[in-house]
């Protein structure tokens, strides 16, 4: 690369780092094939100059968290569940993150503390207690697995003490990106009397499920905590049927049930990762045709503006003049009478 071009690229990456948080763990860095310019792990975590390009329809708050935040740290979008955003930091910063304008260590661009203060947490829990319709609390951030086992145990106990909270769900990237952080103590801290705990793992490529990652997952599952997964559909990372199939099978083999395949949210500087909905539907259909039901996530879109999730799966039934037609696993439409 000519010196002038290299200097220009270095300046662009400096601008990316100034606007968005950048971090990668040793576990993820070790997976990158430096000889492959299209390495799917590098694409997820190493900044690129394309992030400086903001498309007209990209939003700093693409799924409308702010519009549904009654008190700091709580997002209450659905009647029976809410988010509790405990921390604003992560062990890694995904280059496609929908909260990329909000997460990261404090800086002039992100003037915030790393987690909720004691008073802010008290206010958040008081709000949850005052809303008897909240059955499930989803702990997110940032990554809540950055908390110590002691804090995980304490927060779980406080949530379980709220009579109407029956489900506590932790969303995390840690078991794959920093698996040694999942200690036996942390795994045990997730279980709490009075509520049922789930852990939802964010993983986008089968290579993330290293031996250490599988061991971290096993510590959680063996502690009696069921695990689900969520995956973001990303161009250049997992936008082909073989890659998605391998990921979903690897998750199931590790005792993690695929839950969501997310269509990419329109966060600033992420258009280079975006597939079309038609491409996503084709991939979801291919996965349906070749993999067990255990390996089928729901393909969904978080509607911009805070209107919740919508299923993007291609319809498998259509009405006809004489009844219905149902599409089989090979894509052939079959007649059916009700």
Active site residues: 77-78, 81, 90, 94, 97, 99, 265, 302, 309
For 162, the 3-state DSSP assignment is: coil
Tally of CB atoms within 10 A around 21: 21
Q: Which tokens is 243 given?
A: 């890659």
Sign of the torsion formed by the C-alpha atoms of 121, 127, 132 and 136: negative
**Cα–Cα dist 317/326, whole Å:** 4
Residue that is written with structure tokens 């404090």 in the block = 106
Q: For residue 221, what are the contacts with CB-CB under 8 A and spacing of at least 6? A: 227, 255, 256
Residues 6+ apart with CB under 8 A from 22: 16, 47, 93
Residue labelled with tokens 């702010």? 66
Q: Are strands 81-85 and 74-78 parallel, antiparallel or unpaired?
A: antiparallel
d(CA 52, CA 37): 20
For 226, half-sphere exposure in the C-beta direction (CA atoms, 13 angstrom radius) is 8
Pick the closest to residue 45 from 65, 35, 61, 30 (CA basis): 30
Distance CA 121, CA 141 (A): 13
Burial of 227 (0-12, 13-18, 19+ CB in 10 A): buried
Spatial distance between the Cα atoms of 265 and 142, rounded to a whole number of angstroms: 16
């Amino acid at each position: 690369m000519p010196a002038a071009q290299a200097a220009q690229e270095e300046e662009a990456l400096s601008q990316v780092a100034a606007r968005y948080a950048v971090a990668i763990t040793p576990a993820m860095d070790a997976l990158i094939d430096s000889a492959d310019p299209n390495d799917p792990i590098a694409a997820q975590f190493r900044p690129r100059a394309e992030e400086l390009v903001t498309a007209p329809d990209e939003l700093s708050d693409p799924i409308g968290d702010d519009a549904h935040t009654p008190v700091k740290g709580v997002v209450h979008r659905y009647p029976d569940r809410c988010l509790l955003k405990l921390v604003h930091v992560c062990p890694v910063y995904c280059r496609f993150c929908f909260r990329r304008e909000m997460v990261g260590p404090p800086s002039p661009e992100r003037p915030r503390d790393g987690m909720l203060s004691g008073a802010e947490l008290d206010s958040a829990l008081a709000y949850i207690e005052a809303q008897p319709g909240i059955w499930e609390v989803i702990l997110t951030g940032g990554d809540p697995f950055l908390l110590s086992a002691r804090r995980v145990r304490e927060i779980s106990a406080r949530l379980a003490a709220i009579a109407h909270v029956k489900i506590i769900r932790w969303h995390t990237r840690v078991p794959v990106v920093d698996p040694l952080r999942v200690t036996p103590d942390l795994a045990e801290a997730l279980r709490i009397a009075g509520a049922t705990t789930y852990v939802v793992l964010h993983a986008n490529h089968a290579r993330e499920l290293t031996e250490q990652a599988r061991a971290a997952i096993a510590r959680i599952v063996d502690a009696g905590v069921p695990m689900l997964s969520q995956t973001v559909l990303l161009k250049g990372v997992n936008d082909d049927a073989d890659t998605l199939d391998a990921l979903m099978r690897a998750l199931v083999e590790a005792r993690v049930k695929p839950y969501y395949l997310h269509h990419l949210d329109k966060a600033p500087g992420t258009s280079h990762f975006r597939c079309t909905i038609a491409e996503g539907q084709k991939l979801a259909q291919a996965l349906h045709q070749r993999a067990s039901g255990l390996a089928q996530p729901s393909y969904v879109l978080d509607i911009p503006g805070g209107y919740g999730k919508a299923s993007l799966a291609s319809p498998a039934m259509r009405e006809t003049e004489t009844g219905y037609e149902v599409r089989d696993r090979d894509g052939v439409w079959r007649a059916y009478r009700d």
